[in-house]
Amino acid sequence: MKINKLNSIIILGLIAIISILLAQLLWTKEAFTLEQKKLSQKAHIALLEVAKKLYEGTNHELPAQNPVQKIANDYYIVNIDNDFEPEILEFYLKTEFKKMNITTDFEYAMYNCQSDEMIYGDYISLSKKGKENKTVYFPKHKNLVYYFAVRFPNETTYLFSSMRFWFVLSTALILILLIYVYSIFKLLQQKKYSELQRDFINNMTHEFKTPLSSILIASKYLIEQNPIKEDKKLHTYTDIIIKQSNKLNSHIEKILSIAKSDYTPLELKKENVAIVPLIEETITNIQLKYPDAVITIEANSTEYQIETDVFHFSNLVYNLLDNAVKYCNKKPEITIRITEENNVLKLEFTDNGIGITPKKIPFIFDKFYRCPNEKSNEVNGFGLGLYYVKEICILQNWKIKAENNLENGITITLSIPHKK
Protein backbone atom coordinates (compact mmCIF):
# COMPACT_ATOMS: atom_id res chain seq x y z
CA MET A 1 0.00 0.00 0.00
CA LYS A 2 1.38 3.39 -0.90
CA ILE A 3 1.97 5.86 1.89
CA ASN A 4 -0.36 8.46 0.30
CA LYS A 5 -3.19 5.96 0.17
CA LEU A 6 -2.53 4.89 3.75
CA ASN A 7 -2.54 8.50 4.95
CA SER A 8 -5.83 9.11 3.14
CA ILE A 9 -7.44 6.10 4.81
CA ILE A 10 -6.16 7.20 8.25
CA ILE A 11 -7.42 10.78 7.82
CA LEU A 12 -10.82 9.67 6.49
CA GLY A 13 -11.16 7.21 9.39
CA LEU A 14 -10.32 9.90 11.94
CA ILE A 15 -12.73 12.39 10.35
CA ALA A 16 -15.51 9.77 10.32
CA ILE A 17 -15.04 8.77 13.97
CA ILE A 18 -14.66 12.36 15.21
CA SER A 19 -17.79 13.37 13.25
CA ILE A 20 -19.76 10.51 14.78
CA LEU A 21 -18.46 11.46 18.23
CA LEU A 22 -19.39 15.13 17.80
CA ALA A 23 -22.83 14.15 16.52
CA GLN A 24 -23.27 11.85 19.51
CA LEU A 25 -22.27 14.64 21.93
CA LEU A 26 -24.73 17.01 20.26
CA TRP A 27 -27.49 14.39 20.50
CA THR A 28 -26.61 13.86 24.17
CA LYS A 29 -26.83 17.59 24.82
CA GLU A 30 -30.20 17.77 23.05
CA ALA A 31 -31.40 14.74 24.98
CA PHE A 32 -30.35 16.41 28.26
CA THR A 33 -32.24 19.58 27.34
CA LEU A 34 -35.30 17.51 26.41
CA GLU A 35 -35.17 15.61 29.71
CA GLN A 36 -34.85 18.92 31.55
CA LYS A 37 -37.95 20.27 29.76
CA LYS A 38 -39.89 17.09 30.54
CA LEU A 39 -39.02 17.32 34.24
CA SER A 40 -39.97 21.01 34.26
CA GLN A 41 -43.33 20.27 32.64
CA LYS A 42 -44.09 17.43 35.04
CA ALA A 43 -43.08 19.55 38.05
CA HIS A 44 -45.24 22.40 36.78
CA ILE A 45 -48.29 20.15 36.36
CA ALA A 46 -47.73 18.52 39.77
CA LEU A 47 -47.38 21.86 41.58
CA LEU A 48 -50.48 23.23 39.82
CA GLU A 49 -52.41 20.19 41.08
CA VAL A 50 -51.08 20.81 44.59
CA ALA A 51 -52.30 24.41 44.35
CA LYS A 52 -55.76 23.20 43.28
CA LYS A 53 -55.86 20.74 46.20
CA LEU A 54 -54.98 23.50 48.65
CA TYR A 55 -57.90 25.61 47.33
CA GLU A 56 -60.40 22.78 47.68
CA GLY A 57 -62.77 23.18 50.65
CA THR A 58 -62.07 26.90 50.95
CA ASN A 59 -64.07 29.98 50.00
CA HIS A 60 -61.35 31.12 47.62
CA GLU A 61 -61.07 30.27 43.95
CA LEU A 62 -57.92 29.45 42.07
CA PRO A 63 -56.76 32.69 40.40
CA ALA A 64 -56.88 32.91 36.65
CA GLN A 65 -53.18 33.69 36.51
CA ASN A 66 -50.94 30.65 36.74
CA PRO A 67 -49.76 30.42 40.37
CA VAL A 68 -46.66 28.37 39.51
CA GLN A 69 -43.51 30.31 38.66
CA LYS A 70 -40.21 28.76 37.67
CA ILE A 71 -37.42 30.86 39.18
CA ALA A 72 -34.53 28.56 38.19
CA ASN A 73 -34.06 25.11 36.66
CA ASP A 74 -34.41 23.49 40.07
CA TYR A 75 -36.45 26.11 41.94
CA TYR A 76 -40.20 26.86 41.82
CA ILE A 77 -42.58 29.06 43.81
CA VAL A 78 -46.37 28.63 44.02
CA ASN A 79 -48.62 31.54 44.98
CA ILE A 80 -51.55 30.54 47.19
CA ASP A 81 -53.87 33.33 48.31
CA ASN A 82 -54.91 31.23 51.25
CA ASP A 83 -53.47 29.92 54.48
CA PHE A 84 -52.46 26.24 54.58
CA GLU A 85 -50.84 23.70 56.90
CA PRO A 86 -47.28 22.35 56.29
CA GLU A 87 -48.37 18.71 56.84
CA ILE A 88 -51.09 19.00 54.23
CA LEU A 89 -48.69 20.65 51.78
CA GLU A 90 -46.11 17.89 52.22
CA PHE A 91 -48.76 15.19 51.72
CA TYR A 92 -50.02 16.79 48.49
CA LEU A 93 -46.46 17.31 47.17
CA LYS A 94 -45.56 13.64 47.72
CA THR A 95 -48.81 12.47 46.17
CA GLU A 96 -48.65 14.60 43.03
CA PHE A 97 -44.93 14.02 42.41
CA LYS A 98 -45.55 10.30 42.65
CA LYS A 99 -48.39 10.57 40.13
CA MET A 100 -46.11 12.41 37.71
CA ASN A 101 -43.32 9.84 38.25
CA ILE A 102 -40.93 12.42 39.68
CA THR A 103 -38.59 10.27 41.79
CA THR A 104 -35.87 12.77 42.64
CA ASP A 105 -35.54 14.26 46.14
CA PHE A 106 -37.02 17.66 46.90
CA GLU A 107 -37.27 20.16 49.72
CA TYR A 108 -39.82 22.83 50.41
CA ALA A 109 -40.29 26.02 52.44
CA MET A 110 -43.24 28.34 53.19
CA TYR A 111 -43.46 32.06 53.67
CA ASN A 112 -44.53 33.20 57.13
CA CYS A 113 -46.12 36.63 56.95
CA GLN A 114 -45.86 37.13 60.72
CA SER A 115 -42.08 36.72 60.83
CA ASP A 116 -41.64 37.95 57.24
CA GLU A 117 -39.31 35.13 56.34
CA MET A 118 -39.23 31.74 54.61
CA ILE A 119 -39.67 28.85 57.04
CA TYR A 120 -37.84 25.70 55.97
CA GLY A 121 -40.18 22.75 55.68
CA ASP A 122 -38.36 19.46 55.17
CA TYR A 123 -36.10 17.42 52.87
CA ILE A 124 -38.15 14.66 51.23
CA SER A 125 -36.26 11.69 49.84
CA LEU A 126 -38.02 9.90 46.98
CA SER A 127 -34.93 8.09 45.66
CA LYS A 128 -34.86 5.54 48.51
CA LYS A 129 -31.35 6.58 49.51
CA GLY A 130 -32.35 7.74 52.94
CA LYS A 131 -33.26 11.09 54.34
CA GLU A 132 -30.66 13.86 54.40
CA ASN A 133 -30.53 16.87 56.67
CA LYS A 134 -29.99 19.98 54.61
CA THR A 135 -30.34 23.66 55.31
CA VAL A 136 -30.92 25.61 52.12
CA TYR A 137 -31.65 29.30 51.80
CA PHE A 138 -35.03 30.06 50.23
CA PRO A 139 -35.28 33.72 49.17
CA LYS A 140 -38.37 35.85 49.76
CA HIS A 141 -40.42 37.23 46.89
CA LYS A 142 -42.16 40.60 46.75
CA ASN A 143 -45.92 41.07 46.41
CA LEU A 144 -46.67 37.52 47.58
CA VAL A 145 -48.31 36.78 50.94
CA TYR A 146 -49.18 33.09 51.01
CA TYR A 147 -46.86 30.98 48.94
CA PHE A 148 -44.45 28.08 49.16
CA ALA A 149 -41.24 27.18 47.31
CA VAL A 150 -39.91 23.83 46.10
CA ARG A 151 -36.34 23.01 45.18
CA PHE A 152 -34.91 19.88 43.52
CA PRO A 153 -31.34 19.73 44.88
CA ASN A 154 -30.36 16.63 42.86
CA GLU A 155 -31.97 17.61 39.57
CA THR A 156 -28.74 17.35 37.49
CA THR A 157 -27.86 13.95 38.94
CA TYR A 158 -31.42 12.77 38.37
CA LEU A 159 -31.35 13.89 34.74
CA PHE A 160 -27.97 12.23 34.14
CA SER A 161 -29.20 8.96 35.65
CA SER A 162 -32.13 8.96 33.24
CA MET A 163 -29.70 9.30 30.33
CA ARG A 164 -27.41 6.37 31.09
CA PHE A 165 -27.76 4.92 27.61
CA TRP A 166 -26.55 8.14 25.96
CA PHE A 167 -23.53 8.40 28.24
CA VAL A 168 -22.62 4.73 27.80
CA LEU A 169 -22.82 5.15 24.02
CA SER A 170 -20.70 8.33 24.13
CA THR A 171 -18.11 6.62 26.35
CA ALA A 172 -17.98 3.65 23.98
CA LEU A 173 -17.39 5.98 21.01
CA ILE A 174 -14.63 7.81 22.88
CA LEU A 175 -12.96 4.47 23.68
CA ILE A 176 -13.24 3.43 20.03
CA LEU A 177 -11.63 6.71 18.98
CA LEU A 178 -8.79 6.25 21.47
CA ILE A 179 -8.23 2.65 20.34
CA TYR A 180 -8.26 3.76 16.69
CA VAL A 181 -5.74 6.53 17.37
CA TYR A 182 -3.51 4.14 19.32
CA SER A 183 -3.74 1.52 16.54
CA ILE A 184 -2.84 4.11 13.91
CA PHE A 185 0.10 5.26 16.01
CA LYS A 186 1.37 1.68 16.35
CA LEU A 187 0.77 1.05 12.63
CA LEU A 188 2.79 4.10 11.60
CA GLN A 189 5.50 3.20 14.09
CA GLN A 190 5.66 -0.35 12.72
CA LYS A 191 5.70 0.98 9.16
CA LYS A 192 8.60 3.25 10.04
CA TYR A 193 10.56 0.36 11.54
CA SER A 194 9.73 -1.79 8.52
CA GLU A 195 10.99 0.89 6.13
CA LEU A 196 14.18 1.30 8.15
CA GLN A 197 14.68 -2.46 8.07
CA ARG A 198 14.05 -2.62 4.33
CA ASP A 199 16.43 0.26 3.64
CA PHE A 200 19.08 -1.34 5.81
CA ILE A 201 18.72 -4.70 4.05
CA ASN A 202 18.80 -3.11 0.60
CA ASN A 203 21.85 -1.03 1.40
CA MET A 204 23.64 -3.90 3.09
CA THR A 205 23.00 -6.41 0.30
CA HIS A 206 23.90 -3.96 -2.45
CA GLU A 207 27.11 -3.07 -0.65
CA PHE A 208 27.91 -6.80 -0.47
CA LYS A 209 27.09 -7.52 -4.11
CA THR A 210 29.66 -5.13 -5.58
CA PRO A 211 32.78 -6.61 -3.93
CA LEU A 212 31.29 -10.11 -4.26
CA SER A 213 30.93 -9.68 -8.02
CA SER A 214 34.57 -8.60 -8.21
CA ILE A 215 35.64 -11.65 -6.18
CA LEU A 216 33.69 -14.00 -8.49
CA ILE A 217 35.09 -12.45 -11.68
CA ALA A 218 38.64 -12.56 -10.33
CA SER A 219 38.25 -16.13 -9.02
CA LYS A 220 36.83 -17.45 -12.29
CA TYR A 221 39.64 -15.79 -14.20
CA LEU A 222 42.17 -17.14 -11.70
CA ILE A 223 40.99 -20.76 -11.87
CA GLU A 224 41.49 -20.77 -15.65
CA GLN A 225 45.18 -19.95 -15.33
CA ASN A 226 47.61 -22.80 -16.05
CA PRO A 227 49.67 -22.42 -12.85
CA ILE A 228 46.45 -22.80 -10.82
CA LYS A 229 45.25 -25.78 -12.86
CA GLU A 230 48.61 -27.52 -12.40
CA ASP A 231 48.65 -26.99 -8.62
CA LYS A 232 45.86 -29.13 -7.11
CA LYS A 233 45.95 -27.35 -3.78
CA LEU A 234 45.66 -23.88 -5.34
CA HIS A 235 42.94 -25.14 -7.66
CA THR A 236 40.98 -26.53 -4.70
CA TYR A 237 41.27 -23.28 -2.76
CA THR A 238 40.18 -21.24 -5.77
CA ASP A 239 37.25 -23.58 -6.34
CA ILE A 240 36.22 -23.15 -2.69
CA ILE A 241 36.31 -19.37 -3.11
CA ILE A 242 34.04 -19.60 -6.17
CA LYS A 243 31.58 -22.00 -4.50
CA GLN A 244 31.36 -19.99 -1.30
CA SER A 245 31.00 -16.77 -3.28
CA ASN A 246 28.13 -18.28 -5.26
CA LYS A 247 26.57 -19.48 -2.01
CA LEU A 248 26.86 -16.03 -0.47
CA ASN A 249 25.43 -14.51 -3.64
CA SER A 250 22.38 -16.81 -3.47
CA HIS A 251 21.81 -15.74 0.16
CA ILE A 252 21.96 -12.08 -0.83
CA GLU A 253 19.49 -12.64 -3.67
CA LYS A 254 17.15 -14.40 -1.26
CA ILE A 255 17.29 -11.49 1.20
CA LEU A 256 16.56 -9.01 -1.60
CA SER A 257 13.63 -11.03 -2.91
CA ILE A 258 12.12 -11.36 0.58
CA ALA A 259 12.57 -7.63 1.26
CA LYS A 260 10.95 -6.84 -2.09
CA SER A 261 8.04 -9.23 -1.47
CA ASP A 262 7.09 -7.27 1.68
CA TYR A 263 6.08 -4.32 -0.48
CA THR A 264 5.48 -5.98 -3.84
CA PRO A 265 3.69 -9.32 -3.37
CA LEU A 266 5.11 -12.29 -5.22
CA GLU A 267 3.26 -13.09 -8.43
CA LEU A 268 2.25 -16.70 -8.77
CA LYS A 269 1.79 -18.31 -12.17
CA LYS A 270 -0.59 -21.06 -11.21
CA GLU A 271 -1.20 -24.20 -13.22
CA ASN A 272 -2.48 -27.69 -12.56
CA VAL A 273 0.49 -29.95 -11.89
CA ALA A 274 1.12 -33.43 -10.52
CA ILE A 275 2.99 -32.85 -7.27
CA VAL A 276 4.65 -36.26 -6.80
CA PRO A 277 6.94 -35.89 -9.85
CA LEU A 278 7.80 -32.34 -8.73
CA ILE A 279 8.71 -33.57 -5.25
CA GLU A 280 10.79 -36.41 -6.70
CA GLU A 281 12.70 -33.92 -8.87
CA THR A 282 13.35 -31.71 -5.83
CA ILE A 283 14.54 -34.73 -3.85
CA THR A 284 17.04 -35.48 -6.62
CA ASN A 285 18.36 -31.90 -6.42
CA ILE A 286 18.66 -31.95 -2.63
CA GLN A 287 20.48 -35.28 -2.67
CA LEU A 288 23.15 -33.80 -4.94
CA LYS A 289 23.88 -31.44 -2.04
CA TYR A 290 23.37 -34.06 0.70
CA PRO A 291 24.15 -37.52 -0.75
CA ASP A 292 23.70 -39.25 2.63
CA ALA A 293 20.12 -38.02 3.12
CA VAL A 294 17.43 -40.69 2.89
CA ILE A 295 14.19 -39.17 1.62
CA THR A 296 11.10 -41.26 0.90
CA ILE A 297 7.60 -40.47 -0.35
CA GLU A 298 4.53 -42.26 1.00
CA ALA A 299 1.44 -41.65 -1.12
CA ASN A 300 -1.63 -43.66 -2.09
CA SER A 301 -1.46 -42.22 -5.57
CA THR A 302 1.16 -40.63 -7.82
CA GLU A 303 -1.47 -38.61 -9.66
CA TYR A 304 -2.36 -36.02 -7.03
CA GLN A 305 -2.75 -32.67 -8.75
CA ILE A 306 -2.95 -29.15 -7.32
CA GLU A 307 -3.09 -25.66 -8.76
CA THR A 308 0.17 -23.91 -7.88
CA ASP A 309 3.23 -22.10 -9.18
CA VAL A 310 5.75 -24.80 -10.15
CA PHE A 311 8.81 -22.67 -9.41
CA HIS A 312 7.70 -21.54 -5.95
CA PHE A 313 6.30 -24.94 -4.99
CA SER A 314 9.64 -26.57 -5.86
CA ASN A 315 11.46 -23.93 -3.79
CA LEU A 316 9.06 -24.51 -0.90
CA VAL A 317 9.74 -28.25 -0.86
CA TYR A 318 13.49 -27.64 -1.28
CA ASN A 319 13.55 -25.28 1.71
CA LEU A 320 11.69 -27.74 3.93
CA LEU A 321 14.01 -30.60 2.97
CA ASP A 322 17.11 -28.41 3.28
CA ASN A 323 16.10 -27.38 6.81
CA ALA A 324 15.35 -30.98 7.80
CA VAL A 325 18.79 -32.14 6.69
CA LYS A 326 20.76 -29.23 8.15
CA TYR A 327 19.21 -29.54 11.61
CA CYS A 328 20.02 -33.21 12.11
CA ASN A 329 22.88 -34.69 14.17
CA LYS A 330 22.78 -38.12 12.55
CA LYS A 331 22.03 -39.62 9.17
CA PRO A 332 19.07 -37.60 7.86
CA GLU A 333 15.89 -39.61 7.28
CA ILE A 334 12.93 -37.69 5.93
CA THR A 335 9.48 -39.01 5.06
CA ILE A 336 7.07 -37.07 2.87
CA ARG A 337 3.60 -38.43 3.52
CA ILE A 338 0.75 -37.42 1.16
CA THR A 339 -2.83 -38.07 2.27
CA GLU A 340 -6.26 -36.78 1.31
CA GLU A 341 -9.04 -36.05 3.78
CA ASN A 342 -12.28 -34.07 3.36
CA ASN A 343 -11.15 -32.33 0.15
CA VAL A 344 -7.87 -31.36 1.78
CA LEU A 345 -4.54 -32.68 0.56
CA LYS A 346 -2.01 -32.98 3.38
CA LEU A 347 1.73 -33.03 2.85
CA GLU A 348 3.63 -34.08 5.99
CA PHE A 349 7.41 -33.61 6.09
CA THR A 350 8.67 -35.73 8.99
CA ASP A 351 12.36 -35.73 9.91
CA ASN A 352 14.60 -37.24 12.57
CA GLY A 353 16.38 -34.00 13.45
CA ILE A 354 17.07 -32.30 16.74
CA GLY A 355 13.51 -30.96 17.09
CA ILE A 356 12.44 -27.59 18.46
CA THR A 357 11.58 -26.41 21.95
CA PRO A 358 7.73 -26.25 22.13
CA LYS A 359 7.86 -22.59 23.19
CA LYS A 360 9.89 -21.72 20.08
CA ILE A 361 7.65 -23.47 17.51
CA PRO A 362 5.27 -20.47 17.03
CA PHE A 363 8.24 -18.29 15.97
CA ILE A 364 10.00 -20.51 13.42
CA PHE A 365 8.09 -18.96 10.49
CA ASP A 366 9.03 -15.40 11.48
CA LYS A 367 11.40 -13.44 9.28
CA PHE A 368 15.07 -13.65 10.35
CA TYR A 369 14.19 -15.92 13.27
CA ARG A 370 16.67 -18.68 14.02
CA CYS A 371 15.95 -21.03 16.89
CA PRO A 372 18.79 -20.67 19.41
CA ASN A 373 20.63 -24.00 19.80
CA GLU A 374 24.05 -25.52 19.18
CA LYS A 375 23.15 -26.55 15.63
CA SER A 376 22.06 -23.00 14.71
CA ASN A 377 25.57 -21.78 15.44
CA GLU A 378 26.99 -24.37 13.01
CA VAL A 379 24.47 -23.86 10.20
CA ASN A 380 24.81 -20.83 7.93
CA GLY A 381 21.65 -18.90 7.08
CA PHE A 382 19.57 -15.82 7.71
CA GLY A 383 16.32 -17.32 9.02
CA LEU A 384 14.48 -16.73 5.74
CA GLY A 385 13.79 -20.26 4.51
CA LEU A 386 10.71 -21.04 6.59
CA TYR A 387 9.53 -17.43 6.32
CA TYR A 388 9.53 -17.84 2.53
CA VAL A 389 7.62 -21.13 2.89
CA LYS A 390 4.97 -19.46 5.05
CA GLU A 391 4.61 -16.54 2.59
CA ILE A 392 4.00 -18.94 -0.32
CA CYS A 393 1.38 -20.79 1.75
CA ILE A 394 -0.38 -17.55 2.63
CA LEU A 395 -0.45 -16.43 -1.02
CA GLN A 396 -2.12 -19.71 -1.98
CA ASN A 397 -4.47 -19.90 1.03
CA TRP A 398 -2.75 -23.00 2.33
CA LYS A 399 -2.36 -23.80 6.01
CA ILE A 400 0.98 -24.75 7.53
CA LYS A 401 1.85 -25.96 11.01
CA ALA A 402 4.83 -27.48 12.78
CA GLU A 403 4.90 -29.90 15.70
CA ASN A 404 7.43 -32.09 17.46
CA ASN A 405 7.42 -35.82 16.85
CA LEU A 406 7.03 -38.25 19.76
CA GLU A 407 10.65 -39.42 19.65
CA ASN A 408 12.75 -36.85 17.78
CA GLY A 409 12.56 -34.38 14.94
CA ILE A 410 9.57 -32.36 13.79
CA THR A 411 6.72 -32.70 11.33
CA ILE A 412 5.69 -29.78 9.14
CA THR A 413 2.24 -30.22 7.61
CA LEU A 414 0.83 -28.39 4.61
CA SER A 415 -2.96 -28.44 4.21
CA ILE A 416 -3.97 -27.73 0.61
CA PRO A 417 -7.59 -27.38 -0.55
CA HIS A 418 -8.08 -30.13 -3.12
CA LYS A 419 -10.87 -30.93 -5.52
CA LYS A 420 -10.99 -34.28 -7.24
Higher pLDDT residue, 251 or 9? 9
Would the pLDDT of 1 be above 50?
Answer: no
Higher pLDDT residue, 196 or 272? 272
pTM over 0.85? The answer is no
pLDDT digits (tens, 9 = 90+) for 98-153: 888 888 888 888 877 666 677 777 888 866 554 555 556 677 777 777 788 888 88
pLDDT band at 413 (very low <50, low <70, confident <90, very high): very high
If we measure between CA atoms, which residue out of 370, 360, 341, 345 comes closest to residue 402? 360
pLDDT digits (tens, 9 = 90+) for 302-358: 888 899 988 889 889 988 998 888 888 889 999 999 998 888 999 999 998 888 888
Mean pLDDT for the stretch of residues 20-28: 80
Would the pLDDT of 370 be above 60?
Answer: yes
| Separation CA 201–CA 259 (nearest Å) | 7
Would the pLDDT of 241 be above 90?
Answer: no
Question: What DSSP letter does each residue of 117-173 carry, written as one string?
Answer: EEEEEEEE--SSS------------TT-SSEEEEE-TTHHHHHHHTTHHHHHHHHHH
Please give the distance of CA 21 from its chain centroid, rounded to a whole number: 20
